[in-house]
Structure 1
Amino acid sequence: MPTDYAIDIEHVAKTYTNLFRAGVPALRGIEMKVHRGEIFGLLGPNGAGKSTLVKILMTVIRASQCRGTMLGAPIGDKATLARVGYLPEHHTFPPYLTSIQLIEFFGAMTNVSRRDRKRRSQELLELVGMGDWGNKKIGSYSKGMRQRVGIAQTLINDPDLILLDEPTDGVDPVGRRDIRHILERLGEQGKTIFINSHLLSELEQVSHRVAIIVQGLVARQGTIDDLTNDETHYEIQLSASPDQIMAAMAQLDTGKLPSGRAFELKDSTLHIATDDAEQIQPIIDRLREQHMVIQSIRMARPTLEDLFMQAVVDPSTGQALKPGAAKQKKRGA
């Protein structure tokens, strides 16, 4: 039965073990839902388990525990994997092949007919801006060109779901912009795209929703708007000293503001905890009465980088959390 989710997983765990040491947890119970037709960004610090999760979805490695579906079928279903395009992190393509040969090779692996492989390989190279390079050997390509060809090969089987593990790694800013435009075009075609990347600004520009993995667990998940709504605020920048601003604000009734702490002063900028323009009018009026010069007023919300830093920093110490999944405490400890 069709489902609204391209990926719907829960209780995904992975512990690496060997004969010489105790198990090392990489994932500790991932729960995640990716809607069909959306671009979904997965981010987290190094060692958080991002690539491990992608490899589990593609059955490159076996999970210690996994429950869920991909394109409506159980994780690992072979027929479903034929409907998925995958670009792994740190991929290596044979340098003696041309990009046409490479894409046709991957098409053969996914049972695309010879006729369709011939037709689609050139079309896909045109899509990723490599149309003039189809008959040149991959060994002569730059890193950005290899990444573009890598994206092209994920599309040879016309997949419903595309998994990209660090697709812009090592690519210059112009190349990243071009790849972002490619992903946007694929999204317009109704493809579901799952991107694992550490480039926060890139994910913020292209993703409909994101998830942040920290120490083997999903710390935050949702649209960027949903994740930042509670921290949206107004900023009023003034041409005055902090002491002058505080004196002007001293007699202002801020009880109607929807925050226990109505405003915060940083340097010469007031940060007012509301997204309602009407709520800041009394403050603006008061500042004008005190002949304060208002340089700018803007509504601000946290960036994806702000959300990321909140997720990866221990609030009790202010220090970044250690890489890898946190170890479970022993009972009675």
Structure 2
Amino acid sequence: MTEDRPLVVRTFDLKKTYRTGFWLNQTVRSLKGCSLSVTEGETFGLLGPNGAGKTTLLKILLGILRPSGGSGTLLGRPLGDRSVRQRVGYLPENPYFYDYLTANEFLNFIAGLFDIPQGDRSRRIAQLLDWVGISQKNARHKQLQQYSKGMLQRLGMAQALVGNPDVLFLDEPMSGLDPLGRYQMREIILALKDQGKTIFFNSHILSDVETICDRVAILADGELLCSGRLGELLGYPDGYKVRGWSGKLEVLETWLEDLDFENGQWQGTLKGELPDFLATLELMEAKLTHLTLARPTLEEFFVQQLRDRGFVVSPGK
């Protein structure tokens, strides 16, 4: 159980206020009392709309920004303590790279910052580039100014892993990736999770968060709206939602609640046993095309949480 493991991240009533305006006489509250915790080996997803304060929170955890109020710890040390930096990896949302370096040269530079012995660097760099999908020699020796955004994102993931960190902070790690790149990034994160790494990341791609994360939290306008395991937030499913085509309406009505039947296509919530329903479909020569657990998706839950608190306005209103 993760509850029995040490806390890696812990914050207490964390606040951040910025001064703005020509005379710096106006204030913007980016965080309004954020308290959360992440345990060792956990994959934690922080969700929220643009401007919610996600990146601000992440930078405070990393010691890049100082909080205006509250406190917290990272790996058992106060936020901002330099002694933990060797144990932390970070992929920013918009990473900066030296355009005229190659991938090999850039990672060699990062490895030097971590004091990785010269004899181990080549093996480590080759392993990481293979892992993130930059395996071709011509790609490794290209100047980074010739890389696409997706390639740079993969390289950014590699640099975050150079020091073999205990905890990894990822700010929008799927940004700019094509479907294959997103799949590879998910597999990397899941492999790191299997290694016992602690992963804290922000994302707008809720389907990926739902697949990867042990726990999630929703941040909006600097306020933490909710936090917990997916089962706690979405509810534990007690049935299936199904979709398919062909079959007899009068038979489907006996099996499905909220049945929608139009032009031979149907969908609804199953109210019987799945094996028996599948046998019935086979007898009718009907086809099942979609099967999901009967609970809200993370996206539906996310939007409803924002709507309930006035952050989302329905179209046309």
TM-score normalised by length of structure 1:
0.75
The partner residue of 1:85 within 74, 89, 108 is 89
Tell me whether 1:162 sits opposite 2:175 in the alignment: no
Shift of 1:114: 3.0
The amino acid across from 2:18 in the alignment is Y
Are 2:207 and 1:205 aligned?
Answer: no
Aligned runs of 1:204-243 on 2, under 5 Å? 204-229=210-235
**Greater relative contact order, per chain length (Cα 8 Å cut-off, separation 6+):** 1
Structure with max Cα Rg: 1
| Counterpart pick for 1:75 among 62, 72, 79 | 79
Tell me the secondary structure at the aligned position of residue 307 of structure 1: helix
Q: Does the alignment pair 1:25 with 2:29?
A: yes
Letter in 2 for 1:113: P
Cα deviation digits, residues 122-153 of structure 1 (max 9, x gap): 22112212133322221222211111111111
Contact 2:306 2:312 in 1 (8 A): no
Distance of aligned partners of 1:305 and 1:213 in 2 relative to their CA distance in 1, 3 Å threshold: same
Q: Deviations over 1:8-43 (max 9, x none)?
A: 112111011143442100100111111211221111
**Could you tell me how far apart the structure 1 residues matched to 2:237 and 2:32 are?**
29
The alpha-carbon deviation at position 265 of structure 1 amounts to 5.0
Distance 2:116 2:236 in 1: 48
Correspondence for 1:143: 149
Give unpaired runs (5+ residues) of structure 1: 249-263, 282-293, 321-333
Gap change, CA 1:4 and 1:26, over 3 Å in 2: same
By how many angstroms is 1:206 displaced? 1.4
The residue number in structure 2 matching 1:307 is: 301
* Contact 2:108/2:121 (8 A) holds in 1: yes
Q: Distance in 1 between matches of 2:221 and 2:269?
A: 32
1:119 CA drift (Å): 3.1
Please name the residue that 1:62 is paired with: 66
CA contact (8 A) 1:3 1:71 kept: no
Shift of 1:59: 1.6
Q: 1:299 to 1:104 in 2, by over 3 A?
A: closer
Deviations 1:292-315 (A, max 9, x none): xx9999750111101110121136
Q: 2:18 aligns with which of 2, 16, 20?
A: 16
The alignment status of 1:95 with 2:99, answered yes or no, reads: yes
**TM-score, normalised on structure 2?**
0.79
CA distance in 2, matches of 1:217, 1:234: 34
2:7 match: 5
2:124 pairs with one of 92, 116, 120: 120
What percent of counterpart residues are identical?
40
Name the residue aligned to 2:158. 152
Q: State the AA in 1 paired with 2:15.
A: A
The offset of 1:177, in angstroms, is 0.9
Equivalent residue pairs, number:
289
Cα distance change on mapping 1:125 and 1:318 into 2, 3 Å:
closer
Deviates more, 1:72-81 or 1:127-136: 127-136
Note the aligned Cα RMSD (angstroms): 3.4
Conserved? CA contact 2:153–2:176, under 8 Å: no
8 Å contact kept, 1:13–1:27: yes
* Structure with the larger strand share: 2
Name the structure 2 match of 1:34.
38
Report if the CA contact (8 A) 1:117-1:156 is conserved. Answer: no
Flag structure 2 segments of 5+ consecutive residues without an equivalent. 262-266, 274-285
